Structure 1
Amino acid sequence: MDAIDTERPPPRPGRTGHLQRIRRDRVLLALMAPGVVYFLVFHYGALFGNALAFLDYVPFLGVVDSEWVGLANFAQLFGDPLFWSAVRNTVVIGALQLVFFFPAPLALALLLHSLVGSTIRQFVQSVVYLPHFLSWVIVLALFQQMLGGAGVVNGWLGDLGVSPVHVVGNPDLYPPLVVAQLVWKECGWATIIFLAALSQVDEGQYEAAALDGAGWWRRLWHVTLPGIRPVLVLLLVLRLGEFLDVGFEQFFLQRQAVGPEAGEVLDTFVYFTGFANGEFGYAAAAGLFKGVIGIVLVYTANKVAHRLGEQGVYQR
């Protein structure tokens, strides 16, 4: 009889059980509350603002009394060459970020993971994390001091008798420049997830591969990358969802230096159209267009992840 009782499943928690769990985890719930409120207000609550894309919105009239124009804002948007110029710049910069910025944290994480001494690893991690905590104003000022017309690099070139190279403010070099700025600032911080994934790879697999004569490249290709493939696929799907979300502050601060033709992206287009020109419905239509494209990219990438045998962002 005792054996039968011990094999019974535990009772399902009722109302009292849930209250006890809430009371037990009240500190963790309190720490989580600000983040939940932030997402509810600024992400989910902001979704109601998409209604402005179908209105001739006038702030003094409000949403209810503003004129309903249907798809007129989208028709005007798709016929605007400035909008398509912003889309083109965003796609080019997004593609460069995907090709160069996405694998950079992985390569840095592999390098840090290969360091034997914990003291050296912690020191290098602290150094590469620091740029993340700098504002874009400081980062751009540093690049200006290094690569500007009167910067350090051009000073060295002048001493060598070489003509200066115009990097900062050059529209042709603007896309690779902003990607280099992003890599320098955020690459170290982005390694956190990869380092956590690498720590979960079984060390016994490395030892077995080494005993079989596998070199460093073989161990990387057959042990490391398969071990962190679910994390790679998940981050890639999320990055594709943010393909058109290349940033705002970085481009807002440099837009005037290179001109709108080269420096305008979708985020700055929405800002200047909505807040500077007062065309709120038109700007909301551009923002909604970017959001819909992001949803399509996430859905498509997640389908591809399922076909590759990975879970992706959500299950089938």
Structure 2
Amino acid sequence: MLFIPIIYFIVFHYLPLGGIVVAFKQYNIFQGIWDSPWVGLAHFKEVFASGEFRTALKNTIVLNLGELFITFPFPIVLAVLLNEMSNQRMKKLTQTVLYLPHFLSMVVIAGIVYQVFGTSGIVNNVLSSFHIGPVNFVGDSSKWRAIYWGTGIWMGAGYGMIVYLAAMAGINVELYDAAYMDGAGRWKRIWHVTLPQIRPTVVTMTIMNVGKILSISFERPYLMGNVLVQDVSSVISTYVYSVGLQAGRYDFATAVGLFQSIVAVCMVVAANQVAKRLGEEGIM
């Protein structure tokens, strides 16, 4: 039973690691990976000297920190509220509705965002009826970031909620009964029973999100961004796309990707060590 998964990981996850050497070579598509000349750390020096890369790096960190501190608590809140809901039919309906955006294509979501917040979108049509606007939500840098984070909450809160609901399902009911017998109300039972019991799951999810500080999807900033907000929507993934695929500099793009991976591993290890020092189990 393990043979096929092992072969899958070897072929698609471990063998491609040999391509990392491209980051240290002047890659020529006709010479191939191994016959291309070595250039050492030249690509990495060029990466850190590039103003466009520094802008993309800053935007990636800002957007991901916003995801970590702004959008991360929402799944926990939703899971707690659903866990306290007594009407099972309404609970299942609400859970389905909240989870549904997770299955939508990013192209569809970006289209919805422009239909709602565009200059001729639904929000501006409502504002115009009150003689306000139009407001360029998707063309203003600060407003674009707020829409980006809000879209992240709408897309990802349902999935995270399922994770925490699964953790809450494993809580011993006797703990709630004991707290109730001690006179604890609903809010105290949430604070003293529910949240402490799901703390290991929260810590694990936090460590995984900290490791993604420099990793960001390509589709969301690329499809939601435009030339007016390029100063805040240009991230590492779109930068790799422009220099790697559009400009054909595969070696340079590989150096950027390797830098991302190394920093991600260091962030995960550091966050895990901090969690252990605070008395948590961590993930390693």
Q: What is the TM-score normalised by the length of structure 2?
A: 0.94
CA distance in 2, matches of 1:42, 1:254: 30
Q: Mark the structure with the bigger radius of gyration.
A: 1
Contact conserved, 1:158 with 1:164, CA < 8 A, in 2?
A: yes
Aligned amino acid, residue 59 of structure 1:
I
Aligned: 1:184 with 2:154 = yes
Q: One-letter code of the match for 1:296?
A: C
1:105 is aligned to: 75
Aligned equivalent of 1:13: none
Distance in 2 separating the partners of 1:215 and 1:83: 53
Asked if 1 retains the 8 angstrom alpha-carbon contact of 2:140 and 2:229, the reply is no
Report the alpha carbon displacement of residue 182 of structure 1 after superposing the two structures with TM.
Answer: 1.4
Q: Which has the higher contact order (CA 8 A, sep 6+)?
A: 2
Amino acid at match of 1:220: I
Pick the aligned partner of 1:166 from 90, 112, 136: 136
Q: Which residue of 2 aligns with 1:137?
A: 107
Q: 1:53 aligns with which of 23, 36, 43?
A: 23
Equivalent of 2:91 in 115, 118, 121: 121
Counterpart for residue 301 of structure 1: 271
Question: Root-mean-square deviation (CA), in Å?
Answer: 1.7
Q: How does 1:1-316 map to 2 (within 5 A)?
A: 26=1, 33=4, 39-314=9-284
Ranges in structure 2 where 5+ consecutive residues have no aligned partner: none
Cα distance in 2 for residues equivalent to 1:46 and 1:132: 29
**1:164 alignment partner, SS class:** coil
Q: Which runs of 5+ in 1 are unaligned?
A: 1-25
Amino acid at match of 2:85: L
In the aligned structure 2, how far is the partner of 1:100 from the partner of 1:42? 34
Q: In the alignment, is the contact (CA less than 8 A) between 1:96 and 1:176 conserved in 2?
A: no
* Structure 2 CA distance for partners of 1:38 and 1:89, relative to 1, 3 Å: farther
The aligned length equals 284
Deviation at 1:39, TM superposition (A): 4.4
- Work out the percentage of aligned pairs sharing the same amino acid: 38
Shift in alpha-carbon separation, 1:110–1:46, aligned structure 2, 3 A:
farther
Point out 4+ residue stretches in structure 1 off by more than 6 angstroms.
Answer: none
**Residues 57 and 236 in structure 2, CA contact (< 8 A), matched pair in contact too:** yes
Q: 1:241 to 1:112 in 2, by over 3 A?
A: same
Query: How far off is 1:42 after superposition?
Result: 4.1
